[in-house]
């Protein structure tokens, strides 16, 4: 008998199919497929109908998440793990998905002029969310890889959904650098598999405590994994793609990327580094801490010189990734690092989505500019916004102050808990750098408000055409603003919920 044939005579252990454990993911997958069929067979379905169906799918997934709330188990032979991180990330991601659906439904539309972006963006949004939710629950490097690709492939297409040249260029850059970073991540996975003999995070966690494991191979693998993840969460020095991609992509998609990929990316970052590779913390902490320092300082410094608000928000999101890396660096030894990071992700997701919503609102003011390369998002367009659109300017102020971290808004508490965890882990120097970066970042956040409140509008404000009815965007803006203020006023309940996420790999 052929030697290869012999290997298969042993019966393979079959994993028990635990439908309940992945019920929210299944709901998203089914909703996505159904929506794809609706788009194909009912081409004249309005965006309102599609957005409604998307929201229905999200609601079903949310209901199943609530149904599974107290479930703590490892399913599918350790491939999927249901614990605090999974649950918290699911809740945040579904909420972000709902806000993104509202933004996408509004799109670029003006009075009497519907948005012309393809309706496929709704199923793609659901597929991307499926990847993100699965990524947060993944407890096997194979599932990590597949979930990451599901979300990345959907986002590559979403980034280039409009005819604007800037969006297409952003899609290409996002694709090339995303695929490049996936290859590094995969190489790291392969080396970790070779060193520990398994792709399962639980078994890797056991093996890293074992001194007989091949140290060099494992460390090389961990290093490449770090490169891959740092690329995905856009940390310096792997941040080059972020400004171009955020500036070029349609604003709703950019908001979704900025908020949701951060949540999913940091959830898996925490699970792999603070959880499975926690035994090697001495080896990887200097790398992550170094990346955190660079990310915080470079992100804040480059944001100062930007003249385009979307690009500025991209650099701001880079510096926020730096604060989150402080949480990751702390998380391996201090459980509060995990809960602080998860809470940060929750608050950051709503702040940054709110900021992008204001950008979307302002970009729709004025005459249509379909021939323009990108959307209207220059800082110039915000001059005198307070006089023209006081509500939009007021919400812009809320989000900018929250991103700066001014109490009592949500951003303050997020930073407070992360810095506290950092000090508890003995990373005081890192927290000092983070505070310096926060001070620098206050400059560019407040500059936006100076432009909006103190400068005179350019041209004749009366000549400005109305943006048309904005029910979807209005609702989304209201919700994001409300959440940002409410979390700031009462953070205790949510930080308590995050504390339940501290035990990784439950």
Q: Is 299 in the site for another protein (CB under 8 A)?
A: no
Query: Contacting another protein (CB under 8 A), which of 67, 73, 116, 180?
Result: 180
Contact between 157 and another protein by CB under 8 A: the answer reads yes
Shortest distance, CB of residue 153 to another protein, whole angstroms? 6
Nearer to another protein, 153 or 287 (CB): 153
Enumerate residues 6+ apart whose C-beta is below 8 A from 200: 77, 78, 79, 139, 140, 141
Q: Give Cβ neighbours of residue 463 (< 8 Å, ≥ 6 apart).
A: none
**419: closest CA among 409, 401, 400, 434?**
434
> What residues from 468 to 487 belong to the interface with another protein (CB under 8 A)?
none
User: Degrees (nearest 5) of the Cα angle 109, 123, 54?
Assistant: 75
Between 374 and 488, CB nearer to another protein: 374
In the bound state with another protein, the residue whose beta carbon lies nearer, of 184 and 417, is: 184
Q: Out of 1, 3, 14, 462, name the contact with another protein by CB under 8 A.
A: 14
| Cβ distance to another protein smaller for residue 186 or 423 | 186
Taking residues 194 to 233 in sequence order and writing x for each that binds another protein by CB under 8 A, - otherwise, the string is x--xxx----------------------------------
- Separation CA 167–CA 246 (nearest Å): 9
341 within 8 A of 266, measured Cβ to Cβ: yes
Site for another protein in 20-39 (CB under 8 A): 33, 36-37, 39
If you count DSSP H runs as helices and E runs as strands, how many of each does the chain have, helices first?
Answer: 21, 2
In a 10 Å sphere around its CB, with 0-12 CB exposed, 13-18 middle and 19+ buried, how is residue 274 labelled?
buried
Build a one-symbol-per-residue string for 47-86: x at contacts with another protein by CB under 8 A, - elsewhere.
----------------------------------------
Nearer to another protein, 130 or 324 (CB): 130
Stretch 243-272 residues interacting with another protein (CB under 8 A): 243-244, 247-248
For position 179 contacting another protein by CB under 8 A, the verdict is yes
Distance between CA 146 and CA 97 in Å, rounded? Answer: 20
Report the C-alpha gap between 20 and 23 in whole angstroms.
Answer: 5
How many angstroms separate the CA atoms of 282 and 235, rounded? 20
- Only one of the segments 142-150, 277-285, 354-362, 449-457 lies at the binding site for another protein (rule: CB under 8 A); that segment is 142-150
Element (H, E) at 61: helix 47-67
With DSSP H G I counted as helix, E B as strand and the rest as coil, what are the percentages for the chain, rounded to 5? 75, 5, 25
Segment contacting another protein (CB under 8 A): 159-167, 399-407, 409-417, 475-483? 159-167
Question: Is 193 a binder of another protein (CB under 8 A)?
Answer: yes
Nearer to another protein, 255 or 449 (CB): 255
CB nearer to another protein: give 81 or 438. Answer: 81
What length is written for the chain? 506
Q: How many residues bind another protein, per CB under 8 A?
A: 53
Choose between 173 and 447: whose C-beta lies nearer to another protein: 173
- Cα–Cα distance, 188 to 197 (Å, whole number): 13
- Is 372 a residue that touches another protein (CB under 8 A)? no
Phi, psi values for residue 390, rounded to 5°:
-60, -35
Question: In whole angstroms, what separates CA 202 from the centre of its chain?
Answer: 25
Q: Which of 130, 144, 32 is nearest to 80 (CA)?
A: 144
Q: Which stretch binds another protein (CB under 8 A): 158-166, 335-343, 385-393, 438-446?
A: 158-166
Q: Based on CB atoms, which residue is closest to another protein, 79 or 288? A: 79
Q: How far is CA 136 from the centre of its chain?
A: 11
What distance in Å separates the CA atoms of residue 241 and residue 175, rounded to the nearest whole number?
10
Binding segment toward another protein, per CB under 8 A, in 128-136, 162-170, 397-405, 477-485: 162-170
Q: Counting contacts by CB under 8 A, is residue 165 touching another protein?
A: yes
Cβ closest to another protein, residue 14 vs residue 463: 14
| CA 91 – CA 373 distance, rounded (Å) | 36
User: Counting Cβ atoms within 10 Å, is residue 307 exposed (0-12), middle (13-18) or buried (19+)?
Assistant: exposed
Alpha carbons 425 and 282: distance in angstroms, whole number: 12
Residue 420 interacts with another protein (CB under 8 A)? no
Question: How deeply is 456 buried, as exposed, middle or buried, from its count of CB atoms within 10 A (0-12, 13-18, 19+)?
Answer: exposed
CB 286, min distance to another protein, A: 24
Query: Which listed residue (49, 56, 71, 153) binds another protein by CB under 8 A?
Result: 153
Interface residue with another protein, options 127, 175, 273, 343 (CB under 8 A): 175
Nearer CB in complex with another protein: 34/406:
34
Name the one range near another protein by CB under 8 A: 178-186, 282-290, 448-456, 465-473.
178-186
Among 166, 263, 332, 379, binds another protein (CB under 8 A): 166
- The binding site for another protein (CB under 8 A) comprises 7-8, 10-14, 33, 36-37, 39-41, 141-142, 145-146, 149, 153, 156-157, 160, 165-166, 168-173, 175-176, 179-180, 182-183, 186-187, 189-191, 193-194, 197-199, 240, 243-244, 247-248, 373-374
């Amino acid at each position: 008998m052929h030697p290869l044939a012999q290997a298969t005579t042993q019966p393979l252990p079959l994993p028990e199919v635990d439908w309940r454990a992945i019920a929210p993911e299944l709901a998203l997958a089914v909703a996505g497929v159904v929506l794809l069929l609706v788009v194909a067979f009912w081409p004249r379905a309005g965006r309102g109908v599609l957005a409604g169906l998307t929201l229905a799918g999200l609601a079903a997934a949310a209901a199943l998440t609530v149904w599974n709330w107290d479930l703590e188990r490892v399913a599918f032979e350790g491939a999927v793990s249901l614990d605090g991180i999974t649950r918290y990330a699911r809740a945040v991601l579904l909420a972000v998905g709902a806000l993104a659906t509202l933004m996408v439904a509004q799109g670029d539309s003006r009075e009497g002029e519907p948005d012309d972006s393809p309706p496929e963006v709704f199923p793609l949004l659901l597929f991307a969310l499926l990847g993100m939710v699965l990524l947060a629950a993944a407890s096997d490097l194979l599932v990590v890889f597949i979930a990451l690709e599901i979300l990345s492939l959907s986002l590559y297409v979403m980034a280039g959904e409009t005819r604007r040249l800037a969006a297409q260029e952003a899609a290409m850059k996002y694709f090339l650098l995303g695929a490049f970073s996936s290859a590094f991540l995969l190489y790291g996975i392969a080396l970790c598999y070779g060193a520990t003999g398994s792709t399962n995070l639980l078994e890797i966690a056991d093996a890293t405590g074992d001194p007989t494991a091949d140290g060099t191979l494992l460390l090389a693998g961990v290093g490449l994994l770090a490169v891959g993840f740092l690329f995905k969460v856009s940390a310096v020095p792997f941040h080059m793609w972020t400004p171009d991609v955020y500036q070029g992509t349609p604003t709703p998609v950019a908001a979704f990327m900025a908020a949701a990929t951060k949540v999913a990316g940091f959830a898996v970052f925490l699970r792999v580094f603070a959880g499975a590779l926690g035994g090697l913390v001495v080896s990887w902490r200097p790398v992550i801490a170094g990346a955190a320092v660079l990310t915080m300082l470079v992100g804040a410094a480059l944001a100062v010189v930007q003249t385009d608000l979307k690009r500025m928000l991209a650099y701001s999101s880079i510096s926020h990734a730096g604060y989150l890396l402080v949480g990751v660096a702390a998380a391996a030894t201090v459980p509060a690092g995990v809960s602080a990071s998860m809470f940060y992700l929750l608050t950051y997701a709503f702040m940054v989505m709110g900021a992008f919503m204001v950008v979307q609102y302002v970009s729709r003011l004025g005459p249509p500019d379909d021939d323009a390369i990108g959307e209207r998002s220059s800082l110039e367009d915000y001059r005198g916004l307070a006089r023209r659109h006081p509500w939009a300017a007021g919400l812009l102020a809320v989000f900018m102050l929250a991103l700066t971290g001014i109490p009592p808004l949500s951003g303050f508490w997020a930073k407070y808990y992360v810095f506290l965890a950092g000090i508890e882990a003995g990373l005081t120097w890192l927290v000092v750098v983070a505070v310096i970066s926060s001070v620098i970042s206050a400059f560019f956040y407040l500059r936006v408000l100076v432009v909006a409140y103190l400068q005179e509008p350019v041209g004749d404000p009366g000549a400005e055409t109305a943006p048309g009815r904005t029910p979807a965007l209005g609702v989304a803006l209201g919700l994001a603003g409300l959440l940002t203020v409410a979390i700031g006023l009462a953070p205790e309940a949510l930080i308590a919920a995050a504390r339940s996420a501290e035990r990784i790999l439950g």
